[in-house]
Amino acid sequence: MLDLTGKVAFVAGAGSVGEGWGNGKATAVLMARQGATVYGVDVNPKALEDTGAVMQQEGLANWTGHACDLTRSDEVKAAVQDCVQRYGRIDILVNNVGGSAPGDPVSMSEETWDAQMDLNLKTAFLGCKHVLPLMEQQFAQSGKGGAIVNVSSIGCMSFPVEGRVSAAYAASKAGVLAFSRSTAIAYVKKGIRVNTVVPGTMHTPLVEHRLVKQLGAQDAQSLIAKRHASVPMGRMGDAWDVANAVLFLASDEAGYITATQLVVDGGMTAARPGA
């Protein structure tokens, strides 16, 4: 089940912002465990080294890390070309890049708005832009195109009253959903599936690394307890919950699934007003 042997996976955002397991790092390792050859890219070379160290410790030789600014078209194109030169094809593309900046339309600067659009939405566009022609060619030659999984967030689906406002993050992650559905239909007859994983409140290194400071929390433990309590299941998810969802949508078992989203949130969107 969920066997990726013989497949090449291009995983964007394959590092982690700190110690532990971020979504991209977990996805890269899980896909390698399932037999895929994984080409991981990240803007942070040290983060890629950490992912590579895990691969080495587990005896997973089917891994290549490549430092790349995923907001730059030339760098994404070069990474895709390098992957194809090494392995001959790309069967799976995972666009897992993002981060939130607080602010409403008045308080947020234009520079922050533009940077959020680049980080959260343009990266998915550029990944698809440079990988889709290759997958289309593969389908024409062999009848096997590929699977693309983009990562959004429930931050674009429901908004608690008096909660933290991140207008650009919400807009960009909503854009990922629309972009995925539109792209899926554009390529549905070309052997390419496109779906979206929508994580909820997750406990990844981002909490300690970034959110404690952004949210003005007194300490990490109080913020973590508050985030656990906000989830109907009583706990946050983690990177492996996201990685398992990505793995399923990328696998042959999901071969009849496209243009949809898989929400991984412990029931949060269903329990919030306006969900």
Tokens of 72: 């730059």
Query: Considering just the CA atoms, what is the radius of gyration of the chain in Å?
Result: 18
Distance separating alpha carbons of residues 52 and 25, to the nearest angstrom: 9
pLDDT band at 237 (very low <50, low <70, confident <90, very high): confident
pTM: 0.92
Task: List the chain domain ranges.
Answer: 8-203+239-265
Give the dihedral sign, CA 99/103/104/106.
negative
pLDDT of residue 86: 98
pLDDT of residue 275: 47
> Stretch 120-141: mean pLDDT, rounded?
98
pLDDT of residue 231: 78
> Stretch 137-161: mean pLDDT, rounded?
91
> Stretch 126-145: mean pLDDT, rounded?
97
> Stretch 59-71: mean pLDDT, rounded?
97
Q: In angstroms, what CA-CA distances link 233 with 128, 204, 241, 270?
A: 34, 17, 14, 12
pLDDT band at 210 (very low <50, low <70, confident <90, very high): low
Class of domain 8-203+239-265: alpha beta
Distance separating alpha carbons of residues 119 and 124, to the nearest angstrom: 9
pLDDT tens per residue, range 34-57: 999 999 999 999 999 999 999 999
Packing angle between helix 45-57 and helix 23-33, nearest 10 degrees? 30
Q: Is 187 assigned a catalytic role?
A: no
Closest to 127 measured CA to CA, from 149, 154, 143: 149
pLDDT tens per residue, range 168-209: 999 999 999 999 999 999 999 999 999 999 998 887 676 555
Catalytic residue, from 39, 169, 187, 256: name it.
Answer: 169
pLDDT of residue 201: 81
pLDDT band at 212 (very low <50, low <70, confident <90, very high): very low
pLDDT band at 157 (very low <50, low <70, confident <90, very high): confident
